[in-house]
């Protein structure tokens, strides 16, 4: 039976490919797509999510969510994703968002769910935190929470912090205190999903579908990562979805994780105790290594399933 999930996103170039991967995979039953402000403002991330879902032909409902973090001010990342979030790639507009707001929708789905639901967060996870702060007992209806967030070493938004974690560290702290099992696809893991020009050329040669073409155009707009040697750009968010589809592509490590919520230069750091030095029992699972060839093969095969 397909695994029921709620996918929380902020498209965003890599979010676009993660959405395509999820909606192309019969192993997943995407109950809702919820959207936050993140890579760009909510007005753009919502329009992008609607356009991407419509391009796949899916009828999954898309809900608007938080336009700012629980505390502090919103800050976008247009250097990577462009002012529009999709690197200037123009898609046909999607439909209208579903009525209601994301946090209410998440709670309603969890209340009514006949089986536990997996929460997949590839954005600042304000929407999940708002839902669970107001009805914390609903965590009993959550199978696990899978996040593209954090780093056990250097960040990409600051020396200490990864972008999603830094964008709403209080929200991440709420989830870490919820009692759910949390799976982290960190920067160290996503660096192994480095999309090179050769990968994109292979994808383009494999088919002519509109979603495949859009995926290649969107990823092709992303600047090559100076942090990773300038040879490609990491597909951060699809790694979280790929974990649900092909856990055999990953190795993992249990770890205790906490958040730096201070006002200084360490704010947003995910303190990941990979070696058990704190004595705190592990309550999270860190994805450590990725079979890159298998991952890119999975991406290509699923993109070719879409129209």
SS (H, E, C) 101-128: EHHHHHHHHHHHCCCCEEEEECCCCHHH
Parallel, antiparallel or unpaired: strands 182-185 and 194-195: unpaired
| Contact between residue 285 and residue 185 where contact means Cβ atoms under 8 Å apart | no
pLDDT at position 145, please?
98
Q: Is 259 exposed, middle or buried (0-12, 13-18, 19+ CB in 10 A)?
A: buried
pLDDT at position 81, please?
86
pLDDT at position 11, please?
97
Q: How confident is the model at residue 79 (pLDDT cuts 50, 70, 90)?
A: confident
Q: How far apart are CA 235 and CA 226, in angstroms?
A: 15
Average pLDDT over residues 259-284: 96
Q: How confident is the model at residue 82 (pLDDT cuts 50, 70, 90)?
A: confident
Domain boundaries, the chain: 3-303
pLDDT at position 77, please?
80
What percentage of the chain exceeds 90 in pLDDT?
A: 94
pLDDT at position 80, please?
84
Q: How confident is the model at residue 39 (pLDDT cuts 50, 70, 90)?
A: confident
Average pLDDT over residues 133-154: 97
Q: Is 236 a catalytic residue?
A: yes
Average pLDDT over residues 147-157: 97
Q: How far is Cα of residue 268 from the mean position of the Cα atoms in its chain?
A: 17
* Whether residue 53 has a cis bond before it, omega within 30° of 0: no
User: What angle is formed at CA 35 by the lines to CA 237 and CA 264, rounded to 5 degrees?
Assistant: 70
Per-residue pLDDT at 134 exceeds 90:
yes
* Whether residue 12 has a cis bond before it, omega within 30° of 0: yes
pLDDT at position 78, please?
82
Per-residue pLDDT at 146 exceeds 90:
yes
Residue-wise pLDDT for 228-249, tens only, equals 999 999 999 999 999 999 999 9
Q: How confident is the model at residue 76 (pLDDT cuts 50, 70, 90)?
A: confident
pLDDT at position 95, please?
94
Q: How far apart are CA 270 and CA 160, in angstroms?
A: 8
Q: How far apart are CA 305 and CA 129, in angstroms?
A: 33
pLDDT at position 251, please?
98
| Contact between residue 126 and residue 166 where contact means Cβ atoms under 8 Å apart | no
| Contact between residue 146 and residue 243 where contact means Cβ atoms under 8 Å apart | yes
**Architecture of 3-303 per CATH?**
Alpha-Beta Complex (3.90)
Q: How far apart are CA 297 and CA 111, in angstroms?
A: 37
Closest CA to 65 of 141, 116, 3, 125: 125
Identify the active-site residue in 81, 137, 199, 236.
236
Counting DSSP H helices and E strands in the chain, the numbers are 12, 11
């Amino acid at each position: 039976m397909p695994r029921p999930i709620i996918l929380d996103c902020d498209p965003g170039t890599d979010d676009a490919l993660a959405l395509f991967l999820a909606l192309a995979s019969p192993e997943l039953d995407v109950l809702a797509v919820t959207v936050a402000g993140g890579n760009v403002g909510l007005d753009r991330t919502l329009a992008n999510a609607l356009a991407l879902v419509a391009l796949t032909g899916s009828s999954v409902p898309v809900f608007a969510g938080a336009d700012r973090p629980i505390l502090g001010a919103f800050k976008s990342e247009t250097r990577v994703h462009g002012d529009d979030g999709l690197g200037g790639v123009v898609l046909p507009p999607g439909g209208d968002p579903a009525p209601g707001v994301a946090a209410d929708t998440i709670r309603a789905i969890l209340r009514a769910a006949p089986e536990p639901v997996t929460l997949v967060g590839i954005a600042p996870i304000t929407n999940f935190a708002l839902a669970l702060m107001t009805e914390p007992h609903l965590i009993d209806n959550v199978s696990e929470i899978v996040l593209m967030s954090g780093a056990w070493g250097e960040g990409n938004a600051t020396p200490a912090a990864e972008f999603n974690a830094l964008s709403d560290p209080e929200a991440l702290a709420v989830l870490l205190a919820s009692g759910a099992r949390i799976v982290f696809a960190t920067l160290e893991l996503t660096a192994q999903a480095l999309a090179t020009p050769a990968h994109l050329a292979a994808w383009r040669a494999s088919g002519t579908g509109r979603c495949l073409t859009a995926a290649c155009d969107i990823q092709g707009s992303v600047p090559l990562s100076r942090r990773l040697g300038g040879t490609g750009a990491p597909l951060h968010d699809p790694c979280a979805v790929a974990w649900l589809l092909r856990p055999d592509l990953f190795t993992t490590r249990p770890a205790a994780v906490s958040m730096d919520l201070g006002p200084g230069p360490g704010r947003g750091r995910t303190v990941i105790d990979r070696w058990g030095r704190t004595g705190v029992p592990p309550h999270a699972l860190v994805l450590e290594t990725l079979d890159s060839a298998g991952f890119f093969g999975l991406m290509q095969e699923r993109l070719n399933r879409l129209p």
